[in-house]
Amino acid sequence: MLQIHVLSGSLAAELQEDDLGPIIQSDKPVRALKEHLALRTGISRYRQRLFRESIDLRDDAPVTPRGHLHLVMLNFQDPEAATLQSLASACASGRAEEVEAMLQAPHNPNIRDLDGLEPGGTALQLASRHGHIEVVQQLLEAKADKDAAKQDGHTALHLASAEGHLEVVRELLQAGADQDRAADDGSTALHWASPHGHLDVVRELLRAGVKKDAVEQDGHTALHLASHFGHLEVVRELLQAGANQDHAADDGSTALHLASPHGHLDVVRELLQAGVKKDAVEQDGHTALHLASRYGHLEVVRELLQASADQDHVSQDGSTALQSAYLNGHWDVVQLLLEFPIGRRRL
């Protein structure tokens, strides 16, 4: 039996030979023992020091199945400026051995305002943004604050999602990061993954149960953003997950309004097949057909007309889709609208 005492003499842990088997067989037995103690005590291995008599045991020192060890628990210290710069550089570049050494010092993993990030930036945010999974794991093991936010409210999960770092996103979620945390502008991790087309990250977030219809300050959802940037697979994934296909932002725009003026035909078709309101109007009275006509996206206009969009709807400025196309010189769209066998037409 191996007994571990703190300096006061009280018993911190008592391990039977069966518990010690995997620890003894590890290539770093003392580190494995510290990891075991961390699960029991909640104290990161980086803050632990194990002594046999007066000898500070290295991570690769052997562990015997019987005897006594003493456990000392250190407090994290804030590093000096030069070390702080080194920590930032190591986290941004993924130099895990350097990060390990600094955490062993033990330096505070939650120090703020690291170089390479806006005010409030942390080591975990830097490593997450650059996709360095091993460093992220080290920092989480050191009890880095997984939900620490920059001055603008963005967390490590936001940054990893924006860059499409699936393994980092998964690690943060498994560590209990707040999956629905909103930054100052209302954006969540899902808002950041969707407009960049990071399908695997979007799927991971949806599997974790994120709020799929969370809104930014202007009322836009992840579906709006994916539609705006034409990411068909992300749009499809969000629709299949039950995202509100007709949600209107503060200006009245829906996903269909955002896809149409950019000519994202496949997205428009996907939204129409999902049954969106094809004649939904923005605050200024424009429909998706108005917008597609104004910007000359012939095939989008055709798709909307075939879906029975109202080509004679009049916006607040008195214009129809035909007038929008005419005033902007899109003659192929004008011809299509004139030839399409529906309704009256105004010029």
> Tell me: the pLDDT tens digits for 47-61?
999 999 889 999 999
> Cα–Cα distance between 267 and 244 in angstroms, integer?
15
**Backbone torsions φ then ψ of 12, nearest 5 degrees:** -90, -35
> Cα–Cα distance between 306 and 285 in angstroms, integer?
21
> Cα–Cα distance between 199 and 325 in angstroms, integer?
34
Q: Check if the beta carbon of residue 142 is closer than 8 Å to that of residue 103.
A: yes
Measure the CA angle with vertex 226, ends 244 and 194; round to 5°.
100
Q: Is 95 exposed, middle or buried (0-12, 13-18, 19+ CB in 10 A)?
A: middle
pLDDT for the residue 116? 61
> Cα–Cα distance between 169 and 202 in angstroms, integer?
10
Q: Residue 341 in 3-state DSSP?
A: coil
**Backbone torsions φ then ψ of 344, nearest 5 degrees:** -90, 160
**Backbone torsions φ then ψ of 188, nearest 5 degrees:** -110, 180
Q: Residue 194 in 3-state DSSP?
A: coil
Taking CA atoms, 298 is separated from 110, 224, 235, 302, in Å, by 54, 22, 22, 6
Every domain of the chain and the residues it spans: 2-73, 78-178
pLDDT for the residue 81? 79
Q: Check if the beta carbon of residue 105 is closer than 8 Å to that of residue 129.
A: no
Which percentage of the chain shows pLDDT scores above 90? 85
pLDDT for the residue 347? 42
Position with higher pLDDT, 12 vs 135: 135
Looking at residue 149, its amino acid is A
Q: Check if the beta carbon of residue 224 is closer than 8 Å to that of residue 254.
A: yes
Which residue in 274, 300, 299 sits closest to 287, CA to CA?
Answer: 300
Q: Which CATH number fits domain 78-178: 1.20.1250.20, 3.90.1200.10, 1.25.40.20, 3.50.50.60?
A: 1.25.40.20
Q: How far is CA 286 from the centre of its chain?
A: 33
Lookup: tokens for 299: 């095939």
> Up-side HSE of residue 223: CA atoms within 13 Å toward CB?
30
Q: Check if the beta carbon of residue 13 is closer than 8 Å to that of residue 4.
A: yes
> Cα–Cα distance between 80 and 87 in angstroms, integer?
10
Q: Check if the beta carbon of residue 322 is closer than 8 Å to that of residue 296.
A: no
Per-residue pLDDT of 131-158, as tens digits, reads: 999 999 999 999 999 999 998 999 999 9
Lookup: tokens for 71: 């456990």
What is the pLDDT of the chain when averaged over all its residues? 94
> Cα–Cα distance between 280 and 257 in angstroms, integer?
8
pLDDT classification of 344: cutoffs 50, 70, 90: very low
Task: Determine if residue 209 is left, alpha or beta; phi over 0 gives left, psi from -120 to 50 gives alpha, anything else beta.
Answer: left
Q: Which CATH number fits domain 2-73: 3.30.9.10, 3.40.50.300, 3.30.230.10, 3.10.20.90?
A: 3.10.20.90
Residue range 32-52: mean pLDDT, rounded: 94
Per-residue pLDDT of 172-213, as tens digits, reads: 999 999 999 999 999 999 999 999 999 999 999 999 999 999
> Cα–Cα distance between 69 and 93 in angstroms, integer?
37
Q: Do domains 2-73 and 78-178 have the same CATH topology?
A: no
Q: Check if the beta carbon of residue 123 is closer than 8 Å to that of residue 91.
A: yes
Q: Residue 73 in 3-state DSSP?
A: strand
> Up-side HSE of residue 92: CA atoms within 13 Å toward CB?
12
Q: Is the pLDDT of residue 301 over 50?
A: yes
> Cα–Cα distance between 254 and 259 in angstroms, integer?
9
> Cα–Cα distance between 274 and 254 in angstroms, integer?
14
